């Protein structure tokens, strides 16, 4: 069977579905392909929650884009008539006094510069306002009321429902196997299920699966698994807003972040934003190791004593599509007309959901967009330095090539 539209998008995660909606709004006919089911359980976009924050250290372009995205999250709550985004605030805390050059200090200063009103927290403030924390360990930081979390799986589901209402052609059960190319131009895709989808333009928004469809990018982006844990607290009230907020526990130095008790699942989600371990997107095992569970328990004992022995009711690896420099990859392929890649979320893309569609659509149409310069087609190699400021990179991390492992993994 052959299907034809203006644009075929491969992947119905946060990049793909927002791009489909924006391109449809601009008058294009759009076909969206995904193996399914949707939301796809294996996709990075899925799970019960994702952090929505504007903090990016001293990186003002990201903060500016995050401010636009936050306005979009509030707008989506109104559009969908549902609280998909919970603005419970974000605590950014440190184990030593904030100082110039540190992620939390630079985030705090840039927020002030741009007119935000983060509330500085001392140990005494922390003990009084957020009693679950070990205030003897976390001595400085701030609370930003303009942040929180989105129920990520429900967000993707709501966007897909909107796509159906707008007559976007969504095909599940379709696993794209190859691009259709003719004399340097991409004109569609073939699926392993034997179908052919033709288009004037193809967008690969397949997350960690992207390098499998665009092998020339395999040396510049790769997939790693990051541990995620769900815990059942004995005292939920201690971990419920306003007693508890989305948090960064000195994240650039520890990697740990997490969420208050989920309103329906009744669990606390904690996760690690570090180097991770290589995982093949198609057949890699997504199970946390005993060592990672032990690291979690050690962190909890130091940081949240009331959670130290809380039952672990779920765990998995969240699959990042990492670029070597930590920036997204949203651009037309300079070597093949008719192809755009929108991937490389590097563990921090979901928060930009409300603005991602516009970025991808501008790339497809070749429109100027000041943010696309950073995310454009570029040459990366083993000497490339990862630049995303929240990412924890321990001493002994091997930077070169595919040797990106945390010592001990």
Q: Are residues 247 and 353 in the same domain?
A: no
Classify residue 243 by its DSSP letter.
S
What is the domain range of residue 236? 79-148+222-323
The maximal CA–CA distance of the chain, rounded, in angstroms, is 67
Classify residue 282 by its DSSP letter.
T
For residue 185, is it within any domain? yes
C-beta atoms surrounding 378 within 10 Å: 15
Q: Are residues 144 and 283 in the same domain?
A: yes
Q: Are residues 216 and 232 in the same domain?
A: no
> How many angstroms separate the first and last alpha carbons of the chain?
46
CATH of residue 312's domain is 3.30.9.10
Q: Are residues 228 and 356 in the same domain?
A: no
Q: Are residues 168 and 312 in the same domain?
A: no
For residue 182, is it within any domain? yes
Q: Are residues 252 and 137 in the same domain?
A: yes
Q: Are residues 157 and 133 in the same domain?
A: no
- What b/e readout covers 67-77, taking b as 16+ CB neighbours within 10 angstroms? bebbebbeebb
Question: What does the chain come to in residues?
Answer: 409
Residue 191 and residue 261: Cα distance in Å, rounded?
Answer: 41
For residue 65, is it within any domain? no
pLDDT of 397 reads 64
Give yes or no for a contact between 31 and 169, defined as CB atoms under 8 angstroms apart: yes
pLDDT of 227 reads 97
For residue 331, is it within any domain? yes
Q: Are residues 263 and 126 in the same domain?
A: yes
Segments in the chain below pLDDT 50: 399-409
CA distances from 343 to 45, 113, 168, 354, 356 (A): 12, 31, 21, 16, 10
Q: Are residues 144 and 161 in the same domain?
A: no
pLDDT tens for 356-385 read 999 999 999 999 999 999 999 999 998 898
pLDDT of 169 reads 96
pLDDT of 403 reads 38
The structural domain count of the chain equals 2
Give yes or no for a contact between 69 and 355, defined as CB atoms under 8 angstroms apart: yes
pTM listed for this prediction: 0.94
Closest CA to 250 of 66, 126, 117: 126
Q: Are residues 131 and 254 in the same domain?
A: yes
Burial class of 373 by CB neighbour count within 10 A (0 to 12, 13 to 18, 19+): exposed
Burial class of 35 by CB neighbour count within 10 A (0 to 12, 13 to 18, 19+): buried
Give yes or no for a contact between 346 and 321, defined as CB atoms under 8 angstroms apart: yes
pLDDT of 395 reads 74
Please state whether beta strands 30-34 and 221-231 pair in parallel, antiparallel, or not at all (unpaired): unpaired
CATH of residue 345's domain is 3.50.50.60
pLDDT of 1 reads 59
């Amino acid at each position: 069977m052959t299907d034809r539209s203006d644009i075929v998008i491969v992947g119905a995660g946060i990049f793909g579905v927002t791009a489909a909606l924006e391109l449809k709004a601009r008058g294009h006919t759009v076909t969206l392909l995904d193996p399914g089911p949707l939301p796809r359980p294996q996709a990075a976009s899925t799970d019960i929650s994702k952090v929505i924050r504007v903090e990016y250290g001293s990186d003002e372009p990201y903060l500016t884009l995050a401010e636009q995205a936050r306005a979009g999250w509030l707008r989506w709550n109104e559009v969908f008539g549902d609280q998909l985004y919970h603005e419970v605030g974000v605590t950014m805390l440190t184990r030593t006094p904030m100082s110039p050059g540190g992620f939390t200090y630079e985030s705090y200063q840039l927020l002030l510069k741009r007119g935000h009103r983060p509330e500085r927290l001392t140990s005494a403030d922390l003990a009084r306002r957020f009693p679950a924390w070990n205030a003897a360990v976390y001595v400085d930081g701030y609370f930003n009321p303009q942040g929180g979390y989105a129920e990520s799986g429900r967000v993707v589901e709501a966007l897909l429902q909107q796509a159906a209402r707008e007559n976007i052609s969504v095909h599940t059960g379709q696993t794209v196997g190859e691009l259709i190319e003719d004399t340097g131009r991409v004109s569609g895709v073939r699926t392993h299920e034997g179908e052919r989808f033709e288009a004037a333009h193809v967008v690969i928004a397949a997350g960690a699966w992207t390098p499998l469809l665009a092998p020339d990018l395999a040396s510049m982006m790769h997939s790693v698994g990051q541990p995620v844990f769900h815990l059942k607290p004995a005292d939920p009230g201690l971990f419920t807003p306003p007693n508890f907020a989305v948090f960064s526990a000195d994240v650039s130095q520890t990697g740990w972040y997490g969420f208050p008790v989920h309103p329906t699942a009744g669990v606390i989600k904690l996760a690690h934003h570090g180097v991770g371990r290589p995982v093949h997107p198609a057949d890699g095992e997504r199970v946390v190791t005993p060592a990672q569970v032990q690291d979690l328990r050690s962190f909890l004992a130091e940081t949240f004593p009331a959670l130290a022995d809380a039952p672990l009711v779920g765990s998995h690896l969240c699959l990042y599509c990492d670029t070597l420099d930590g920036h997204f990859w949203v651009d037309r392929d300079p070597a093949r007309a008719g192809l755009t890649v929108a991937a490389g979320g590097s563990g921090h893309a979901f928060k930009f959901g409300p603005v991602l569609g516009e970025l991808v659509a501008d790339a497809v149409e070749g429109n100027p967009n000041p943010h696309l310069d950073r995310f454009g087609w570029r040459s990366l190699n083993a000497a490339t330095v990862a630049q995303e400021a929240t990412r924890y990179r321990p001493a002994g991390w091997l930077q070169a090539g595919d040797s990106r492992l945390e010592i001990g993994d």
